[in-house]
Amino acid sequence: MLAAGLLGLAGIASAEDEAAVNDAAQANNPLLRAKAFNVHDYYIGDLTDIDEDANQFWLRFAMPFSIGDTKWLMRASLLTVNTVPAPPELEHETGLGDFNVFAAYQMDVGIPGVSFGVGPLLNIPTASDDATGSGKWSAGIANVLFSAQSQIFQYGYLLTWQASFAGDDDRDDVNVASFQPILIYQLGGGTYLRSTPIMSYDFESDGYSAPLGLGIGQVFKTARGSNNLFIEPQWSVADDGAGWPGWQVFIGFNMIFQ
């Protein structure tokens, strides 16, 4: 796939070339109206104040749907496997994590190339061990924006907030907000640079985490859509409290079916 700038130098862009560039620009759109199956893994090399490593593995599924004349997108974490140091000995425990899902109502903002969505979020305590989940039912809201107006630089964000309303009374309450900027710079040929760190604030403990990330990805056109493979190291530049990632590596493989 060729970047928009290279197409301009070529003089005439074919419909196939234009479609390839658009695929690259839309490959990281969290509101893309297409079915997607994602395999994600965070290897956390250092947890703040604990000095131990951890790992989070996710299988995620996204699917567009309609209610009447309204358009929605659902994203669910089908399977989460967490490996974490569990107190008191900080020996690593591996088990299933919580189930998380949100549905975003996709609004027409009247700007071509800009997607905007907002809707409810639900977290279900399905963890197989206390150390690998919250033990709480939580609900909240998700808000997503993505701009693909430029074929070179795309940007957006995913903003979520959730608070617990039921669950194990012996577990800490949940009240957490997260903000994930999405910054994509196309290099051409389906290759791109990316930055998608997740910044979080815990209203219960006043703890927070603010990492930065810089990675690289590649989009491959397929007969049914496209595949998106990437790796993104991330480092904490500000944090307070125990158990936040000091540094981590985010690896993902997204299959998009259009």
Residue 179 CB neighbours (<10 A): 16
Q: What is the mean pLDDT of residues 77-101?
A: 93
Paired strand residues for 156: 146, 182
- Provide the CA 107 distance to its chain's centre, in angstroms: 20
Q: Which of 218, 220, 221 is nearest to 194 (CA)?
A: 218
- Percent of residues, the chain, with pLDDT higher than 70: 92
Local confidence band at 16 (pLDDT 50, 70, 90 cut-offs): low
The pTM assigned to this predicted structure is 0.90
Q: Which of 170, 166, 161, 180 is nearest to 124 (CA)?
A: 166
What 8-state DSSP symbol labels residue 130? G
Q: Tell me, what's the pLDDT at 258?
A: 79
Mean pLDDT of the residues in the chain: 91
**Token pair for 78:** 């089908």
Residue 178 CB neighbours (<10 A): 17
List all residues 6 or more positions away from 31 whose beta carbon is below 8 Å from its beta carbon. 73, 104, 106, 115, 116, 117, 144, 146
What are the CA-CA distances from residue 125 to residues 36, 98, 120, 149 (Å)? Answer: 24, 5, 17, 39
Domain 4-257 has CATH 1.20.1250.20: no
What are the CA-CA distances from residue 30 to residues 166, 181, 225 (Å)? Answer: 29, 12, 15
